[in-house]
């Protein structure tokens, strides 16, 4: 069972009334936005360039999925944990878990495949060696 304690990086986001949809729970897209914001904060912690300037190598989202396990509602606070699952030769896999603070349970579990990307050449780039120490440090324990 995944818990917030499984993550060295944990961010909190308030559930806004407007985050809910006509089914009166947080819209599925909101979970992905929380995961995206937590992912960018994670990138900054790892030292991944987030400027997207020509000539810079940054990260690009190549694939993601999300399993929704509990419908969150307003009011609540989402706790979003982020960690590295796997590091490959030219990519790494991340996981984000969204927890309901109010109900103390997992609400959604996402996985993302991240590829280094050269924004000047508009193509995939080799995995920068400078990213490896932080990716390893924040790897799934």
| Both structure tokens of 26 | 């947080």
Q: What is the 3-state secondary structure (H, E, C) of 31-70?
A: HHHHHHHHHHHHHHHHCCECCCCCCCEEEEEEEEEEEECC
Locate the domains of the chain by residue range.
Answer: 4-137
Of 126 and 54, which is predicted with more confidence?
126
pLDDT surpasses 80 at 140: no
Average pLDDT over residues 29-40: 97
Report how far Cα 33 is from the mean position of its chain's Cα atoms: 9
Residues with Cβ within 8 Å of 2's Cβ and at least 6 positions away in sequence, in order, are 97, 106, 109
pLDDT (tens digit per residue) in 95-113 = 999 999 999 999 999 999 9
Classify 4-137 by CATH class.
alpha beta
CA nearest neighbour of 43 among 135, 112, 108: 135
pTM of the prediction? 0.93
Averaged pLDDT score across all residues of the chain = 94
pLDDT (tens digit per residue) in 57-88 = 999 999 999 999 999 999 999 999 999 999 99
Average pLDDT over residues 15-27: 97
Q: Are 91 and 85 in contact (CB under 8 A)?
A: no
């Amino acid at each position: 069972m995944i818990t917030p304690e499984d993550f060295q990086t944990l961010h909190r986001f308030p559930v806004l009334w407007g985050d809910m949809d006509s089914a009166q729970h947080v819209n599925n897209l909101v979970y992905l936005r929380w995961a995206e914001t937590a992912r960018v904060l994670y990138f900054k912690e790892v030292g991944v360039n987030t400027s997207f300037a020509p000539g810079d190598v940054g990260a690009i989202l190549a694939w993601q999925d999300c399993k929704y396990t509990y419908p969150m509602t307003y009011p609540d606070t989402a706790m979003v944990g982020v960690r590295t699952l796997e590091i490959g030769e030219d990519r790494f896999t991340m996981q984000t878990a969204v927890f309901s603070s109010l109900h103390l349970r997992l609400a959604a579990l996402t996985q993302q495949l991240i590829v280094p990307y050269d924004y000047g050449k508009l193509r995939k780039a080799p995995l920068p060696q400078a990213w490896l120490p932080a990716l390893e440090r924040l790897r799934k324990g």
